[in-house]
Structure 1
Amino acid sequence: MFKKFSYEPKLVFSDVICVLLLCWFWFLLPSKLFLNPTSYVVEASNGELLSAAIAKDGQWRFPVADTIPQKFQQCIVAFEDKRFFTHPGIDFLAMARAMRQNLKAKSVVSGGSTLTMQVIRLSRRESRTVWQKLIEVILAFRLELTHSKTDILKLYAANAPFGSNVVGLEAASWRYFGRSAGSLSWGEMATLAVLPNSPSLVHPGKNSAKLIKKRNDLLDKIAGLKMIDQETANLSKLEPIPGKPQQLPQNAPHLLNRFKAEEQALQSTSLRSTLDFDLQLKLNALLKRYNNRYRANDINNIAALVLDVKNGTVLSYVGNIYQPENKELESHVDMIKAPRSPGSTLKPLLYAGMLNDGFILPKTLIPDVPTQINGYSPQNYDLGYDGAIPADRALSRSLNIPAVKMLQSYKYQRFYDKLKKMGISTLNQPADHYGLSLILGGSEVTMWDLAKTYMGMARTLNHFNEYQGKYNPHDYDAPRYVKAKRDERFDTYETQLTSTIDYGSIWNTFNAMEELMRPGEEGLWEQFSSSQRVAWKTGTSFGFRDAWAVGLTAQYVVCVWVGNADGEGRPGLTGVDVAAPVLFDIFRQLPNGKWFQMPKHQLRKMKVCKQSGYKAGEYCRETLEELVSPSGEKTGLCPYHKLIHLDQTATFRVTDQCESTATMVHQPWFVLPPAMEYYYKIKNSDYKLLPPFKPGCTDAGSNYVMEMIYPKNNASVYIPVEFDGSRGKVVLNATHRNSNAKIYWHIDNEYVATTKSYHQLAVSPPAGKHTLTLVDENGERLMQTFTVLDKEKGKH
């Protein structure tokens, strides 16, 4: 009894010791063997290397590869560890042989380490002593229990030294041969296989004979093992050994830096991107050619982004022409991420928003006359006026005044919210901070956001049939540049009945953008040939600092920016002159694709006035059927077609004061307000002026007959000083419905002058507020005020 009682604790204690030893053995191996920093690497979608950056510790060390080249596996096993695939991490025969050789030579001439033991040694970097060797043996055996032979070879290939600051097979392959390891010849692979054993042999111009001998011996050895034939081995011996280390490719350096900054929550510093390798190289070369040309005008930077609409991915990412040797060019700045003034590139979004919300129809007439809003006077690029212009043509010509008029009607607060919903993330100030300048480039956007927004619209239109007229909330998601086996965003989706912009409005917007030969916003006619239909828009920021071009098809979105990263403006730096040619050259590199399918069930036929583009009212004689968004029903009836009353000869206008209603002729007439009419009739010869009133008749205020073109009511004007020091004059401009009418001008109730037909008057009133009164021959009056700024305030 007593003996039995004393024996059990001893048994339990020994079991505990065994368990502890087993736990120690199991947890002796770190969960992650190598903690050294690795190089950031970006590959194209096909696995080709695009760009790489040196690791934080100054070493070229690529992350562990998914696969290991068969040639390297055969070479390294033959050279270092011929029983690698059969031993448990320790090769006792090799160790016994090494001990015998070392004792005989009385020095270390052979190590006897297996590849598994070398992996352990590389991970620990301890001094080479008998005790450390014993630890390596234990850890090697432990490593074999949880890692396959292939995994061990991958760890070795990724962490073996290859001379200088090159670590790992893939980094060595690129540094010494300028290609990936998978593409190396037998001679090149044999050269790399012998290097980890003697990495110092790779120095250019030194030890070349020793390196060649080692390589050739290995080639003979693998030929003897029947891995290759002897003829292949002999030919491989003729190949040169590496010279000076080569620069690694830098074909997507800005995407590499973006990846480093964002890291996309990946566990590796290696990125398999969605970029098309061939397209990226073509665009690098294409943009380089344009950059060389533009630098003659001190325009130093250019960037381009190409997106795949269907997959929502990035196909090409050129953030700048990378020229690290010229630091003053600031080519390191990624212009795809840089906030810049968008110029006119947001105008299609306003057009689409107004169609979507029922403010306009595609060809609604928009005023294009001199305009002053709270002291702000927008100007068209060509400094001309059309009087009135269809909305789609105002967009295709990128006219500023109609755009401001449209935004004034739509409200900039509403447009601000719309832009945010569509993915413009750089609107960091309240809507009131931007005001109406929002439509003319008064905010900042990035190429990334701009391209993403247009891609969202294209995706929405493409999905019309796929989603049976519903909308996918993921359409405006940011494009992906990380290649994944499956895009989980679209595995399961919830469709919704409404979208930021509806199908019909997007369709009409893209059609308005498609006109390939048109006057650009710069007032110049440009023609760009393209083998496919492209919806496109250019933009130029204030001061000629940014030139933009964005274009899209059902398959691709292309965005181009040209300018200087430091914001310096240059003459001739306009979207149509420098960015649009690049845009269409890029489209020539892309496969031809189909135009967008018409969303038939999301478009309704509507009768519109041919002349005004508004929904036809009862007085519209000429109408057209137009396909519009369902929200077009919200728009108002044509305000410009009126019923006028003529005498029985239909020669004069009359009223019931001078003509019997029984003898009147009632006729519909297209009548624009005087200021709009003043410019519209110049460019539209078919515009019919209203007939004059019959003598003795007046319109009794039924139609306003006069309008000030400049200055507008309550405007402030500045009278400059002439070169000779004398005070200059301000030119007042008015228009009258009757082209032969006389206007009598009064300032502060004092008569100034009389004008006939052409109503312009140069005056020089003193500083201060003034009342301007215009009276015509029939006694019609027009009164308004204006303020003349004094000299000092004007300069300020």
Structure 2
Amino acid sequence: MNKIIVYIKRNKIKSAVILVVLIAYYFCLPWQLFKDPTATVITSKNKELLGAQIAKDGQWRFPQNDTVPKKFETCIIQFEDEYFYKHPGFNPISIFKALRDNLKSGNVKRGGSTITQQVIRLSRKNKKRTYFEKCIEILLATRLELRASKNRILAYYSSNAPFGGNVVGLDAASWRYFNRSANQLSWAESTLLAVLPNAPSLIYPGKNHEQLIKKRNMLLKKLFQNGVIDKLTYQLSIAEDIPEKPYPLPQIAPHLLQKVSKTYNGKRIQTSIDMRLQERVNRIVQSHYNQLSQNEIYNAAVLVLDVKTRKVLAYVGNTPTDKAHQKDVDVIDKPRSTGSILKPFLYTAMLDAGDMLQNTLVADVPTQFGSYNPENYNQTYDGAVPASRALSRSLNVPSVRMLQEFGLNRFHHYLKTLRLNDLKYDANHYGLSLILGGAESNLWDLCKSYAALSSTLNHFSETSSEYFSNEFCEPTFLASETLDFGKKSTEKTLFDAASIYLTYESLKEVNRPEGDENWEFFDGSKQIAWKTGTSFGFRDAWAIGTTKDYVVGVWVGNADGEGRPGLVGVQAAAPMLFDVFDVLPKTDWFSKPFDEMQEVEICKKSGYRASQNCDEVETKFIQLSGLKTKPCPFHILIHLDNTETFQVNTSCENLSNIHNKSWFVLPPLMAYYYKTKNPFYKPLPKFRSDCLGESVITMEFIYPEENNHIFLAKDFDGKANDLILKIAHSKPESTLFWYLDDAFVGSTTDIHELLVVPKQGDHMITVVDEFGNEAKRRITISK
């Protein structure tokens, strides 16, 4: 050390020059050798190629791969640089031979470059071959050898060498020429790719076929002579044909590739996609598209999520339609009218708030809120229906009435908490139609919401009855990403586990699609909570289902918004949903969250907590918040005579002859429709004529509704049709007197229906019963 210091002091100029040279040598090689744009590449969770998007410069150049398959490594070294692992970046003997041959011939006949030198030349964009350029290459090659390992240098070469046409790099070449990854190539295929970079502009598959085979076979013979391959392998390899033209790259998840390229352009991304599942879902979508397109329905999307990891397992953004029908549009993240797909969230919210129980009777009668007049899909009414059946049958009128009771702003707040990002306006903008498709959402957000509910239920059962603070997180398509569900707490995140469980129990009862003999068998083998939705005008058909482990979402329609007959959730989307579930592994049903439930007596007829007047009672588990719901309001205690034919009281019957009996009584309008679907419903018996007491009298209009605008069509003779007025009365045997604009038009008894022919304009209908009770209705007539 001392000698070095003494030498530096004595030779300061020389030492400074040496130092400058060393520094220059150290920095002469750029830190990033290759800056060319690369293709965006996505692979499955098992690193299988799903698709690639060509680089910005039009080249099929995959991102740098740090590993080189052993066969190709052997082939390229045998062909290009036998002393690769021994030289310092250049081979003096090869250079001497090349210089001798070139001087003798008078032009460049031989290069003598090592693989390391070729990497340098590639990084310098293949500058013109001169002796000065060769010296620079040698200098930079030695610097590269000091900075990178031999394996790394070989990886640089294989990732950036030209392979003919617009194909750059081994990875792209193996897929373009052999339709598989470089790790799966045979010896014949590996030798073919090893000889291509030697003259890629002259010889590649589809061009100079015979010369290419000749070069390949020469290398195969060398491998055989050097003992790399045996005789049988050699004979089989030279018998292999070469591809005539490049293959198109796989496009197994093209719309996911679009999504990835927006954030990770030019990178190789390992996704969470299950390759086998993705391919099967692609085939399912293709099969249904073939049928749907006959009805001019051209677009569909399917998303499959893993509930436990919240990772995307399959992503089909559209059907294999044509450009005229927007095949490149990724529908999964596009806002569409929700139809009835939000109804389970309202049902869960009302259970969670303690506003009702699972099977509480809700009204299903003609209803009008201002100018808004919701109707059921089949345009019929049940009068009263259990809330769970209203959900499973997707009845519109009960849902709107439930939303009005629960509160529009309140429900809107829950939807915002679910992070439905297309819900961009306040509650009043949507109104009560919010529950029937007045708002927009997308398949991604809806699936993530259902997955969050399922995960909440799973976590509650797997932990000590606890919830996670970040349950409503965004799903991921990245294999490397592990989602953080947050901290555990005994406080619910949004909905309690019992309310979610009871909602899913109701959704298991959704009517299955028709026309497939295997549905019954399927239903018995798998339990699925699922819901369909259809937007106004038959523009969007939805079906979303969940099991303990998976959420599957399906949207069907036309990307341009054109509606089509038959484009309804249960017919167009649900069959696809069940086909996807059919290829997923079978899972157990959700565990019942007993810690959030309590067993109580329930009235079998009304679904309310049983009152002392309920005659048929069953014991059921309800959510804890349901304990504050009121007892059954529809059962009353009445007093009957010995024949139980008439109601009596002490004014007309001895106390010893009076029998007390519980009776199920609905309000008149509900009863009017309820008895048409429930033939065993019995109205209250009349009071015996000699009794002084009387029951409470009520009456309600069945038709028309308040402020209704009615158009009276004309017959073939030009005469306007009659308007049928209907009313429900708690004592049907009573006589009712009807008035149109204060003019008497008739009376009815028992059946309270009346035909009138009002003139065009505004009218007031008045009905008075024999007891002096009155009901009024305003209408407008058009002809």
Q: TM-score, normalised to structure 2's length? A: 0.93
Change beyond 3 A, Cα 1:145–1:764: farther
Q: Does 1:720 align with 2:712?
A: yes
Q: Which residue of 2 aligns with 1:247?
A: 248
- CA drift at 1:503: 0.8
Per-residue deviation at 1:17?
A: 4.4
Q: Sort the Cα spacing of 1:146 and 1:762 in 2 relative to 1 into closer, same or farther, 3 A.
A: farther
- How far does residue 32 in structure 1 lie from its aligned partner after superposition? 1.8
Aligned to 2:4: none
User: C-alpha separation between the residues in 1 aligned to 2:111 and 2:692?
Assistant: 116
Q: Which moved more, 1:447-456 or 1:731-740?
A: 731-740
Report the Cα distance in structure 2 between the residues aligned to 1:699 and 1:404, rounded to whole angstroms.
38
Q: Distance in 1 between matches of 2:693 and 2:37?
A: 86
Distance 1:697 1:715, change over 3 A: farther
Asked if 1:747 corresponds to 2:729, the answer is: no
The alignment partner of 1:463 has SS state of helix
How far apart are 1:672 and its partner, in Å? 0.6
Task: Report the counterpart of residue 465 of structure 1 in structure 2.
Answer: 461
CA distance in 1, matches of 2:295, 2:492: 48
The equivalent residue for 1:124 is: 124
Q: Distance in 2 between matches of 1:58 and 1:299?
A: 35
Alignment-mate amino acid for residue 469 of structure 1:
S
Task: Give the corresponding residue for 1:350.
Answer: 346
Partner of 1:425: 421
Q: In the alignment, what sits opposite 2:3?
A: none
Question: Could you report, residue by residue, the CA deviation over 1:316-345 in whole angstroms, capped at 9, with x for unpaired residues?
Answer: 11111234xx32121111121121112211
Please say if 1:510 is aligned against 2:501.
no
Q: Which residue in 2 is equivalent to 1:628? A: 622
Could you tell which deviates more after superposition, 251-260 or 598-607?
598-607
Partner of 2:365: 369
CA spacing shift, 1:8–1:555, aligned 2, 3 Å: closer
Conserved in 1, the CA contact under 8 Å of 2:534 and 2:542?
yes
CA distance, structure 1, for counterparts of residue 433 and residue 761 of structure 2: 28
- Residue number in structure 1 paired with 2:280: 282
Counterpart of 1:111 in structure 2 is: 111
Candidates 751, 765, 770, aligned match of 1:772: 765
Aligned pairs for 1:325-404 (under 5 A) are 326-404=322-400
1:272 — aligned with what?
270
Structure 1 residues 535-544 or 197-206, which shifts more? 197-206
Residues 31-51 of structure 1 deviation map (CA, whole Å, 9 limit, x = unaligned): 221111111111111121111
Is contact 2:758-2:781 (8 Å) kept? Answer: no
For residues 8 and 221 of structure 2, the distance between their equivalents in structure 1, rounded to whole angstroms, comes to 63
Q: CA deviation at 1:390?
A: 0.4
Task: State the SS of the aligned residue for 1:693.
Answer: coil
CA displacement at 1:106 relative to structure 2: 1.9
Cα distance in 1, alignment partners of residues 739 and 690 from structure 2:
25
Q: Give how far 1:552 is off.
A: 1.5
Supply the distance in 2 between the matched residues of 1:130 and 1:496 (Cα, whole angstroms). Answer: 77
Q: SS of the counterpart of 2:476?
A: coil
- Please list the CA deviations of residues 588-645 of structure 1 after superposition, one character each: whole Å capped at 9, or x if unmatched: 2112121111112222112221111012223223221111111111222222122334
**Amino acid of the structure 2 residue aligned with 1:311:** T
Residue 785 in structure 1 maps to residue 777 in structure 2:
yes
Q: For the residues of structure 2 that align with 1:402 and 1:68, how far apart are their CA atoms? A: 65
Secondary structure of 1:788's aligned partner? strand
Asked whether 1:474 is paired with 2:475, we answer: no
Q: Secondary structure at the residue paired with 1:500?
A: coil
Give the 3 Å change call, closer, same or farther, for CA 141–655 of structure 1 in structure 2: farther
- For the 8 Å contact 1:467–1:495, the answer to whether it is kept is no
Cα distance, 1:554 vs. partner? 0.8
1:646: how far off? 4.5
Q: 1:233 to 1:388 in 2, by over 3 A?
A: same
Task: Report the counterpart of residue 3 of structure 1 in structure 2.
Answer: none
Structure 1 residue 548 corresponds to structure 2 residue 549: no
Distance 1:446 1:438 in 2: 15
**Stretch deviating more after TM superposition (380-389 or 621-630):** 621-630
CA–CA distance in structure 2, aligned partners of residues 699 and 368 of structure 1: 32
Secondary structure of 2:662 counterpart: strand
- Check conservation: 1:195, 1:201, Cα contact below 8 A: no
What SS is found at the alignment partner of 2:646?
Answer: coil
Assess, with a 3 A threshold, how the Cα gap between structure 1 residues 322 and 12 changes in structure 2: closer, same or farther: farther
Which letter maps to 2:709? Answer: V
For the residue of structure 2 that corresponds to 1:187, the secondary structure is helix
| Cα distance in 2, alignment partners of residues 786 and 626 from structure 1 | 45
Q: Matched residues in 2 for 1:698 and 1:580: separation?
A: 59
Shift of 1:187: 0.3
Q: Which residue of 1 aligns with 2:154?
A: 153
* Residues 1:438 and 2:430 aligned together: no
Q: What are the equivalent positions in structure 2 for 1:27-106 lying under 5 Å apart?
A: 27-106=27-106
| Deviation of 1:465 (Å) | 2.8
Secondary structure of the structure 2 residue equivalent to 1:196: helix
Distance 1:519 1:167 in 2: 51
**For the residues of structure 2 that align with 1:261 and 1:129, how far apart are their CA atoms?**
43
Q: What whole-Å deviation, never above 9, does each CA across 1:281-336 have from its counterpart, x for those lacking one?
A: 1111221111112211111122211111122111111111234xx32121111121
Q: Which residues in structure 2 correspond to 1:492-641 (within 5 Å)?
A: 493-495=487-489, 497-515=491-509, 517=511, 529-530=522-523, 531-641=525-635
Note the alpha carbon deviations across 1:6-29, whole angstroms, 9 max, x for none. Answer: x99996565554444333332332
SS at match of 2:670: helix
Q: Per-residue deviation at 1:729?
A: 4.3
- Mean CA deviation greater in 549-558 or 360-369: 549-558
CA separation of 1:646/1:11 partners in 2, compared to 1, >3 Å: closer, same or farther? Answer: farther
Check 1:651–1:271 CA distance in 2 against 1; reply closer, same or farther (3 A cut).
same
Distance 1:494 1:134, change over 3 A: farther
Unaligned runs of 5+ in 1: 1-6, 792-796
Mapped partners of 2:323, 2:738: distance in 1: 63
Partner of 1:487: 482
Q: Which moved more, 1:123-132 or 1:284-293?
A: 123-132
Structure 1: which amino acid aligns with 2:766?
A: T
Q: Is the 8 A contact 2:204 2:212 kept in 1?
A: no
Range with greater deviation from structure 2 (93-102 or 116-125)? 93-102
Q: Aligned partners of 2:677 and 2:690: how far apart in 1?
A: 33
* Change over 3 Å in CA distance of 1:16–1:608 after alignment to 2: farther
Distance 1:26-1:759 versus aligned 2 partners, 3 A rule? farther
Query: Deviation at 1:422?
Result: 1.8
CA distance in 1: counterparts of 2:380 and 2:431, whole angstroms: 24
Q: Separation in 1 of the partners of 2:381 and 2:307?
A: 38
Offset at residue 715 of structure 1 (A): 2.2
Q: Distance in 1 between matches of 2:11 and 2:505?
A: 88
Higher mean displacement: 641-650 or 610-619: 641-650
**Which residue is equivalent to 1:317?**
315
Does residue 669 (structure 1) correspond to residue 663 (structure 2)? The answer is yes
Alignment check: 8 A CA contact 1:338 1:446 kept: yes
Q: Could you tell me whether the CA contact under 8 Å between 2:556 and 2:573 is conserved in 1?
A: yes
* One-letter amino acid of the counterpart of residue 39, structure 1: A
Distance 1:308 1:182 in 2: 30
Matched residue pairs, number?
772
Aligned equivalents of 2:638 and 2:16: distance in 1?
110
String of CA shifts for 1:178-232, please: whole Å, max 9, x gaps: 1111111100110000000111344555422221121111112222332212331
Q: Cα distance 1:696–1:771, how it changes in 2: closer, same or farther (>3 A)?
A: farther
Alpha carbons of 1:374 and 1:519: their partners in 2 closer, same or farther (altered >3 Å)?
A: farther
DSSP-derived class of the 2:440 partner: coil
Instruction: Look up the match of 1:449.
Output: 445
Q: Judging changes above 3 Å, is the alpha-carbon distance between structure 1 residues 281 and 603 closer, same or farther for their aligned structure 2 residues?
A: same
Cα distance change on mapping 1:300 and 1:76 into 2, 3 Å: same
* SS of 1:686 mapped into structure 2: coil
Tell me the equivalent position of 2:22: 22
Query: In structure 2, what residue type is equivalent to 1:605?
Result: E
User: What RMSD in Å do the two structures reach over aligned CA positions?
Assistant: 2.6
| Structure 1 residues 704 and 738, CA gap change in structure 2 (3 angstroms) | closer
Q: Distance in 1 between matches of 2:693 and 2:211?
A: 108
Q: Compared with structure 1, are the counterparts of its residues 146 and 636 closer, same or farther at alpha carbon in structure 2 (3 Å cutoff)?
A: farther
Moved more, 492-501 or 654-663: 654-663
The farther-off stretch of 724-733 and 90-99 is: 724-733
Q: CA deviation at 1:171?
A: 0.8
TM-score by length of 1: 0.92
